[in-house]
Amino acid sequence: MTGYAEKLDRAFRASDNFACVGLDPVPDLMPVSDVAAFNQLVVDATHDLVCAYKPQLAFYEALGVPVFQALEDTVEYIRRRAPEAVIIGDGKRADISSTAAAYARAMFKTWDFDAATVNAYQGDDAVLPFLDYPNRGVYLVCLTSNDSAERLQTLRAGDPGGDSFLYEQVAGLAAQLDRAGETGLVLGANRTEAIRDLRAAYPRMPFLIPGVGAQQGDARSAAAAGIDAAGSGIVISSSRAIMYAPDGGDGPAPAIRTAAQRLRDTINSALQN
């Protein structure tokens, strides 16, 4: 086991769980106005409870140039406060090879993320530049949690006769391009049956499973369906349900910590059973 797979395994062992906190700043919901300060509050409250953090880049881009510095500060803070945690840059980037190369450079050199989410709709060209960075992970968007995902993702595709779904073709592409355990899949937490089938087809492939909490995904079912034979291989992410957990009167940090503990314990309970 080398590269990103080894880094992910270290994160699992250091935290003894598979929970991830999505860092999605929404000013109207934040208890403090400074994005970097709020992210640091979240990290302080959860650093010993999770294996990963997942900044969703759209939330930072929407707030303009000054917030880019907050994102850089956040990555640096996670490196200090939770040094074994994996940081996943969730941008779902994709384009022709030259543009994809620029996206990859931004994700891995500029922002120093450990992994990135990538769309493979344009084929190998959109993915290969991300694989030029040793020790970095690439999660291909496979089957998502949104209501209209089936409009494209469950179309029949492949050889004449259409014997598989389009999302299954994406999973096959991830497996074909994998070199050392660095390619994985993004699978919505509400897609339990597909997660189970894909785990059977790809026993050791990393799965990033967002959609727990506000998107109504069930962490227990997703964990049980996605765990690999070695008892590893999943990162289950919740964003708004943790970052903006209702304040019980003691301030935001205890509420955030309680929500993260709840996610961790739900996952662990499912796997123990």
* Cα 257 versus chain centre, distance: 19
Rounded distance, CA 89 to CA 111, Å? Answer: 8
Rounded distance, CA 185 to CA 198, Å? Answer: 9
Rounded distance, CA 59 to CA 225, Å? Answer: 30
Contact, 52 vs 81, CB < 8 A?
Answer: no
For 148-151, the CB contacts below 8 A with 24+ separation are 149/188
| Residue 92 among the catalytic residues | yes
Contact, 17 vs 264, CB < 8 A?
Answer: yes
- Active-site residues, by number, are 92
